[in-house]
Amino acid sequence: MIRLTNATCGYPGPNGRKVLHGIDLHVHRGLVTGLLGPNGSGKSTLLLTMAGVLPLHGGCLEIDGHNAAGLKSRQRARLVCSVPQSAEPPQALACLSVVLMGRYPYLSFLGTYGPEDREAALAAMAQTATLNFEQRPADQLSGGEFRRVLLARALAQGSALMLLDEATAGLDMARAVEAMDLLKARARQGLTVLAAIHDLNLAALYCDRLILLKNGGVLAEGPTHEVFRPELLRELYDTNIVVAPHPVTGAPQAHLVPGE
């Protein structure tokens, strides 16, 4: 679905800091891939580069077989949607209007939303349990509530690839599980998901594959059961971690060892 070849990623301008170097990655279609790494490892930079917010400083980025450099903004938006790490709620704008923003790649020549756009927006709000916010101003929501509205906006966009920076940030435990259940279900329907996740155990429960980033490069990448190993997690986070199976699902789960 999306492929990086010998990529250099970083900030714009001649003095912009280069964060990632020599990145070779393939994000597989129809899977949930988790992006793990310590603070400053380049997770957000990688996602922003894939979304087209930050420039690619070297190498090649392909999205669904297309060289991303040749895609126009609307073409790219039909292929890629994103949920940012943080965003300020627009003042006095109803949540439905926020979700409808995801439909901009499909706007008519007159720049108006059609019935199918409203239908897509309402369906996405139903899936994210935000329909009761439909007419509420977005700046009157809690951080977790607005996070769910941003997820609805991305779903309404109908893109083939969804990028999420801190997928469950600001969500309580129940809402985090609901969000990951939804992403997993949509992946089974063909959506490709790449999500930066700080909760290691949530990543192990829901992700089909994992990418570990450290020191400007890829430490490891592959199926979760192969990558979620204590020696790799210790190296990734520079702390003592043990891994044991989940008592119900059997999925690997990480446990910190205090005082070491």
| 9: β partners | 20, 56
The full set of domain ranges for the chain reads: 2-64+160-256, 88-157
For residue 17, the model assigns a pLDDT of 87
Measure the CA–CA gap between 156 and 152, rounded to whole angstroms: 6
Contact 162/192 with Cβ under 8 angstroms? yes
Contact 254/228 with Cβ under 8 angstroms? yes
Inter-residue long-range contacts of 128-137, CB under 8 Å, 24+ positions, other chains counted: 128/152, 128/155, 128/179, 128/182, 129/175, 129/178, 130/95, 130/99, 133/95, 134/94, 134/95, 134/96, 135/94, 135/95, 135/96, 136/94, 136/95, 137/89, 137/91, 137/92, 137/93, 137/94, 137/95
Q: What are phi and psi of 169, to 5 degrees?
A: -60, 130
pLDDT in tens, 6-58: 999 999 887 888 999 999 999 999 999 999 999 999 999 999 999 999 999 99
Measure the CA–CA gap between 162 and 86, rounded to whole angstroms: 16
- What's the pLDDT band for 260 if we cut at 50, 70, 90? low
For residue 259, the model assigns a pLDDT of 76
The residue-averaged pLDDT of 204-212 equals 97
Taking alpha carbons only, the member of 52, 48, 47, 81 closest to residue 69 is: 52
For residue 244, the model assigns a pLDDT of 95
Residue 77: what residue type?
Answer: A
For 216: left if phi > 0, alpha if psi spans -120 to 50, otherwise beta; the answer is left
pLDDT in tens, 166-196: 889 889 999 999 999 999 999 999 999 999 9
Measure the CA–CA gap between 214 and 234, rounded to whole angstroms: 12
Position 113 pLDDT exceeds 90: no
Q: Which CATH architecture has domain 2-64+160-256?
A: 3-Layer(aba) Sandwich (3.40)
Percent of residues, the chain, with pLDDT higher than 70: 100
Residues 6+ apart with CB under 8 A from 25: 2, 3, 4, 7, 211, 218, 221
For residue 226, the model assigns a pLDDT of 96
Mean pLDDT of the chain: 93
pTM: 0.93
Taking alpha carbons only, the member of 32, 43, 36 closest to residue 181 is: 32
